[in-house]
Structure 1
């Protein structure tokens, strides 16, 4: 198919370039002695009403026919793709407005719009070109909108937002490259459709006007004698068919190629370097964080009144069952929650700066340089259409003003820190293993020298050996850079061995906070005790079933008035079902939200 398409395309290009030069004179020279002749040796396709050779006119008309079709397609595709793909990077109000505009434009048939606008703009080549370009915008916009919607929810676009990249950069680097292949197919296919439509407008007298000509006008002139001499009408029709088929085959071939990459833009300014906080300063301080999510059945609050603080060089674990609110808490801090989510907090400070008091632009810029997010699935968090080197250097070029060579040198050093060779810079994410991709994610965060690293279950999909390597890497980075680390995990044993302090979440609230070295012996909340006891022990009795936490998490649409763990708690009392226990301190560094904390001595051996 590639060879056939290339041959057909080459023939069209050759005719478009050489046609007017070789046959232009014969196409425009009238011969009154040969008016309306049929096919002959001198005139294989016959002549028109002025005695001009129709074969020469068909060949010479290739340039105008193709140029008009390509110009209309490119104008319509450019406007439509930009309109539709912008929905992935704009705010919710603008997205709704753009979607409504696209739906409104699609309500009108494209051909009728083209005919109407051709009349409005006036008969002629320019009017027909603009009319068809405008009429093709809604189709391209809807396709781009649909494709961009699949990219808008990906982790790698969220990671790009964390970097604080501008919307035009998000669109050019992270949205368009990932939707390029179907757009290429649609554009090349639309070129053939545009050729037919423009020929139709010329056929109706709304397109190219005499003395200029194209295939559509030649078809109109030959139609009057199609029954007596069909070749003058069939010749331009076959030319239109041949060109349209060429564009169809070309689209099929090009769609199999890789999406086109864009060149990174030079940042406009050089932001000032950020100095890290002193060891005794809070890197992150969160008080009374609440997240609300509207659903068709009502509003739920998956995060309720969470308090969280981290100091420089501290690694804190956040554990709990699925649905306990761990990841939503991290996403709320990183300003990556879904747009329909509502967030309230009494305090949200990062490096001493009040994020709630900043403008969205300043907040994104501050988050991009002070916080790094390591997502659970690096395969989706890394952009599949960009090389690793491009993704690593993007942040420092956008926010540190680094030149390309300087950024590559820094990326090489950062890869060395995470035990990866420089050759990884030239690789794409799918060429790396799961452990390597996770190391690349960590390296990407280190490029901006963050003060806070949020690792959202970074070892879940990895085997035990790679898990140990990743946790040791995070510990080394914390020690070398004094960055605070919030480590989110289901694995309470892993958290106990890695972290200094552990926060236990249940049903959107923190139910216990204690030093990690006391997790196995001094837990006081029944839920935390049940989590610890459910960890398998190689020295335990293998004839007995593994311990589990009985019951199920509470319904977020119908929260109980008392302690959220009360229905599953074996030690519940009357007060537990009526009042929510506050998070109160038991001793230094140990807080628990329970009306009747368990005694430490009750921990089984």
Structure 2
């Protein structure tokens, strides 16, 4: 875990939570340090003429049975109360950490009894353990410190045990063991530094609980003894005279609350800083870069306005980073017509999935989506309220994800989850929704659909889960199905079945399909039109029928050339595209494909080409588009 930066700490301190924690901790610390020095003599001064008096100008909380000022004694008791709580927490952290880390480094026969002891001890309430140890160690300050410290040890042991188990399986632990590093060196050099921060956060919060525990033991007479006194002892003395002077009991009670609140807020602040939550959220970033004026004619005109299901015009998706905003999707424009199947292809990181998620309004904060136009079924997605847009997206948009196992709730039956998709947006009974779920499973050719509807996701094979995912999308009446890598994890036979199913659904329901895939061959055989994306932009848009014969962008050509054919010579190495795509935060000034393109010239590295449409409606963004189909590569050239 990375240490928080100075900016993160300063941002947290400026927050209401951080500022409150800081003020309270400074107040408690100053009182603990200066209290005995400033108010010590007054707290010990006996005045027989002012015995058990109520609040007055001279004694704001009154006096005790010996005429001593109660407020002064409360302030002086801060040091002992806080110091004892901190010592008890240190004992609990050290003892608990040793017990928790022991199973990770000791032999199995020695570690299992320790883990079992920790599990048994955690089952007992902390206060009960403290009373048990207090009886063993005896009455007094030392016994109370040991009792509370050891009572806190099991919870730290459980925390340390969990954290250590996660670290013990890492590769660097195995490497240290192979290198012959001793178990105790592994414990203190490799495991403990990686779990230190969570322990510190929990120890800070536990200090507040220790204060309350000490007050309880002293109140019962098991803690601090005369002539010493802490807040718990003062609280017990005050309660004996609560009907004569309630303020005498109120003072130490408020002190316990303030100190406990200070430690708990400090723990919350430390957790926010060490976890990077507040620091990242409150860190001021430059505003999202305003998009440059988009090129005219970027939105294709092949789709008639009345048939447009999804219109995307100059879409940009940005995310904040410590160095500023990064825009992995920059200026994407396309339209999807009713009943049309469009494939989106490109290497990983080209922005395909982010484009689909933005169209479905699934980009969450702190991500930022902007567009000159983003309309679904004629409704602007970015400016319409979620309450208005939710019924439209829920009934007219379906998404099929790459791994349906993560999209289904593993604790609920498939039929119930499909039925929920219909009952959420349609006025139908639960029974009717479940009957419809069975019908939809039958429509996607799930065998024994009625029985399968009562099964859980883990009882389905990968192909069946994907079919069930498509069935869930069909529970309503989708006008657009976004399939994000729906066949990546499936074998070739099941992949073909899923693609045929999507095509049949499109023909039967007239729903449009946006198919995202790495496999350009699959897209060319399944879709009507192909969008080729690279580095967050569409570099080519053309009909799938023209893909092999009329592709003009060098990147599209490269994607086609690396697809192996059945007659490919297996003695030759498979062809690849040289180089790597640029990272989203490091896009070059000119064409992003220039460094990998054999046709690149100086202009390609100076200016990004616009996406221009030709007379046939095909669009390409390239300074040197290919004008003729290249000749087949000879074997001797491929070897070179």
In structure 2, what is the Cα distance between the partners aligned to 1:364 and 1:385? 25
Deviations 1:126-172 (A, max 9, x none): xxxxxxxxxxxxxxxxxxxxxxxxxxxxxxxxxxxxxxxxxxxxxxx
- Contact conserved, 1:584 with 1:592, CA < 8 A, in 2? yes
Partner of 1:500: 528
* Runs of 4+ displaced beyond 6 Å: 99-105, 188-191, 194-200, 220-223
Q: Secondary structure at the match of 1:309?
A: strand
Partner of 1:520: 548
Distance verdict in 2 for CA 1:523–1:101, change over 3 Å: same
Structure 1 residue 336 displacement after superposition: 1.2
Structure 1 residue 589 displacement after superposition: 3.2
Question: Is residue 381 of structure 1 aligned with residue 376 of structure 2?
Answer: no
- Superposition CA RMSD, Å: 3.6
- Contact conserved, 1:392 with 1:447, CA < 8 A, in 2? yes
In structure 1, what is the Cα distance between the partners aligned to 2:585 and 2:557? 27
Question: Is residue 588 of structure 1 aligned with residue 624 of structure 2?
Answer: no
Partner of 2:442: 416
Partner of 2:467: 439
Partner of 1:402: 428
Partner of 2:311: 285
In structure 1, what is the Cα distance between the partners aligned to 2:222 and 2:600? 93
Q: How many residues align?
A: 367
Distance verdict in 2 for CA 1:199–1:434, change over 3 Å: same
Partner of 1:551: 579
In structure 1, what is the Cα distance between the partners aligned to 2:357 and 2:544? 24
In structure 1, what is the Cα distance between the partners aligned to 2:435 and 2:18? 45
Structure 1 residue 554 displacement after superposition: 1.5
- Contact conserved, 1:515 with 1:589, CA < 8 A, in 2? no
- Contact conserved, 1:478 with 1:484, CA < 8 A, in 2? yes
Partner of 1:312: 338
Q: Any gaps of 5 or more consecutive residues in structure 1?
A: 1-95, 110-185, 201-215, 224-276
Structure 1 residue 100 displacement after superposition: 8.3
- Contact conserved, 2:326 with 2:584, CA < 8 A, in 1? yes
TM-score by length of 2: 0.53
Distance verdict in 2 for CA 1:538–1:428, change over 3 Å: same
Partner of 1:300: 326
Q: Any gaps of 5 or more consecutive residues in structure 2?
A: 1-11, 26-118, 134-215, 224-302, 634-640
Structure 1 residue 354 displacement after superposition: 1.2
In structure 1, what is the Cα distance between the partners aligned to 2:122 and 2:468? 39
In structure 2, what is the Cα distance between the partners aligned to 1:104 and 1:390? 47
Partner of 2:454: 426
Distance verdict in 2 for CA 1:603–1:397, change over 3 Å: farther
In structure 2, what is the Cα distance between the partners aligned to 1:556 and 1:291? 11
- Contact conserved, 2:345 with 2:352, CA < 8 A, in 1? yes
In structure 1, what is the Cα distance between the partners aligned to 2:132 and 2:387? 49
Question: Is residue 565 of structure 1 aligned with residue 593 of structure 2?
Answer: yes
TM-score by length of 1: 0.56
Structure 1 residue 221 displacement after superposition: 12
Question: Is residue 449 of structure 1 aligned with residue 452 of structure 2?
Answer: no
Deviations 1:496-521 (A, max 9, x none): 11001000000000000011111111
In structure 1, what is the Cα distance between the partners aligned to 2:306 and 2:427? 30
In structure 2, what is the Cα distance between the partners aligned to 1:563 and 1:436? 42
In structure 1, what is the Cα distance between the partners aligned to 2:20 and 2:548? 62
Structure 1 residue 387 displacement after superposition: 1.2
Residue 497 of structure 2 is aligned with which of 459, 469, 472?
A: 469
Structure 1 residue 295 displacement after superposition: 1.5
Deviations 1:450-494 (A, max 9, x none): 111100000000000110010000000000000100000001111
Residue 506 of structure 2 is aligned with which of 433, 457, 478?
A: 478
Partner of 2:295: none
Deviations 1:326-357 (A, max 9, x none): 00001111111231111110101111111122
Deviations 1:35-55 (A, max 9, x none): xxxxxxxxxxxxxxxxxxxxx
- Contact conserved, 2:535 with 2:587, CA < 8 A, in 1? no
Structure 1 residue 366 displacement after superposition: 2.1
Deviations 1:242-296 (A, max 9, x none): xxxxxxxxxxxxxxxxxxxxxxxxxxxxxxxxxxx99951000010000111122
